[in-house]
Amino acid sequence: MGEVKPNEEEESNAFLQLAECELKVDAIEKDVAQYRLDKMKSVYQERDGLVNKIPEFWKIVLSQHTDFANYIRASDFTYVDCIQDVKVEWDNVDEFKIIIKFDGIKDDFEAQTVTKQFKRQKIIDDTKSKEDSDSDDDDDELEKLISEPVDIKWPKKYEDICPESIQDKKSPEGKKKYRQGMKSLFGWFRWTGLKPGKEFPHGDSFAELIVDDLYPYCVKYYTEAHRDLEDENDDSDSESEGELDLSDDEGNENEPKRRKL
């Protein structure tokens, strides 16, 4: 790269200090997350009890959520509809469990409650070698979500794709079935985060979706889903935006998706 000019030195100093700054930011985010959990704990418990009294609460939340469906197979929704309850319990910011209670389906799927435990852990980022990185603003340490595989009884209908019942895992057909199973909702319960590419894909994001989005905002999602369902049954075109000035111009749709409510 030749000699280092004063400007370059100032710039690379800025990068170093920025990296330190980000560590401070991360530490504050952790502290804030813990503060939030402590404050929310009793309200969440109260809410868990109330939500249980509302029929099909989780079925409505999960089937209407935009992102949730992207993680699992369309056919899994038969069993998503069996989900009677979803609970998240935090030991602390970095350790939590997701507890899912399934109703059964006669002759196909056994009613059960499954608890999956998660942990955030610092790991060394081995996806890039030391030589590759020519900047010092990364300390090569990543935080990663990991979990333990947990037993769940698969539906009878999924017997041909359930890893445990597949005898032949070598033939193209056997491999295909195996993959289909691993990518199903049931495959996620085996996810550990330690064998990337060999497990349920994006198992960490799926867990985070539940923990950081679906569970905290479940009532808002339920209300929204309920309104959408009512709107579908509603003929009146009372939408406020329909009659207004800018909306008949097709030039620029400006309709980005919003995640939070």
Binding interface with a copy of itself (CB under 8 A): 10-11, 13-15, 17-18, 21-22, 24-25, 28, 31-32, 35-36, 39-40, 43, 46-47, 50-51, 53-55, 67, 70-71, 73, 127-128, 132, 137-138, 176, 179-180, 182-183, 196-199, 201-202, 205, 209, 219-220, 223, 238, 240-241, 243-247, 249, 251-252, 254-256, 258-259
Shortest Å, Cβ 212 to a copy of itself: 8
Shortest Å, Cβ 47 to a copy of itself: 5
- The sign of the CA dihedral 84, 113, 259, 74 is negative
Residue 151 or 248: the one with the smaller Cβ distance to a copy of itself is 248
Shortest Å, Cβ 18 to a copy of itself: 5
Q: What whole-number distance in Å separates Cα of residue 25 and Cα of residue 30?
A: 9
Residue 36 or 156: the one with the smaller Cβ distance to a copy of itself is 36
Residue 14 or 111: the one with the smaller Cβ distance to a copy of itself is 14
Buried b (16+ CB within 10 A) or exposed e, 201-228: bebbebbebbbebbbbbbeebbebbeee
Buried b (16+ CB within 10 A) or exposed e, 66-83: eebeebbbeebbebbbbb
Residue 107 or 254: the one with the smaller Cβ distance to a copy of itself is 254
Shortest Å, Cβ 63 to a copy of itself: 16
Whether the Cβ atoms of residue 101 and residue 113 lie closer than 8 Å to each other: yes
Residue 4 or 18: the one with the smaller Cβ distance to a copy of itself is 18
The burial of 102, by beta-carbon neighbours within 10 Å (0-12 exposed, 13-18 middle, 19 or more buried), is given as buried
Shortest Å, Cβ 152 to a copy of itself: 19
CA distances from 171 to 39, 165, 175, 179, 217 (A): 53, 15, 6, 12, 44
